[in-house]
Amino acid sequence: MPLTLYGIPNCDTVKKARKWLDNHQLDYQFHDFRKEGLSQQNLEQWCHALGWETVLNKRSTSWRALSDEQKADLNQEKAIALMMEAPTLVRRPVLAKDGQFKTGFKDTDYQVFFNL
């Protein structure tokens, strides 16, 4: 299974993650979910593995733009529906490798994830 980094190219955190992967000469595929879309299957996998609370980015401008009604009574099903509607609600980037997933970017977390 190839290494895939999901995100949007103009996101600063995604840029940092891509630079880190490049600097460590790791071969990866970049999936721009603004252009290429986001599959419900991927989103469900991420939420199952990491928890929907981790995958949903409540600090994003997309989250702040939601109505109070949309934010109310959140559960996994509702969170997935919101993220499918607005992929920028996904905490970026999402790194997928051999059925393991990681959201966000921190140098030390990536070192542990890749056993470096």
> H/E/C letters for each residue in 35-89?
CCCCCHHHHHHHHHHHCHHHHECCCCHHHHCCCHHHHCCCCHHHHHHHHHHCHHH
Ordered domains of the chain (ranges, CATH): 4-113 (3.40.30.10)
pLDDT digits (tens, 9 = 90+) for 45-101: 999 999 999 999 999 999 999 999 999 999 999 999 999 999 999 999 999 999 999
d(C-alpha 9, C-alpha 88), whole Å: 12
- Contact between 40 and 84 (Cβ < 8 Å): yes
Q: Take residue 80 and report the two structure tokens written for it.
A: 């997935």
pLDDT at 88: 92
CA–CA dist 72, 68 (Å, integer): 6
pLDDT of residue 55: 97
* Main-chain phi, psi angles of 80, to 5 degrees: -65, -40
Q: Which residues are catalytic?
A: 11
Q: Which residues are bridge partners to 56 per DSSP?
A: 90
Q: What is the pTM of this model?
A: 0.92
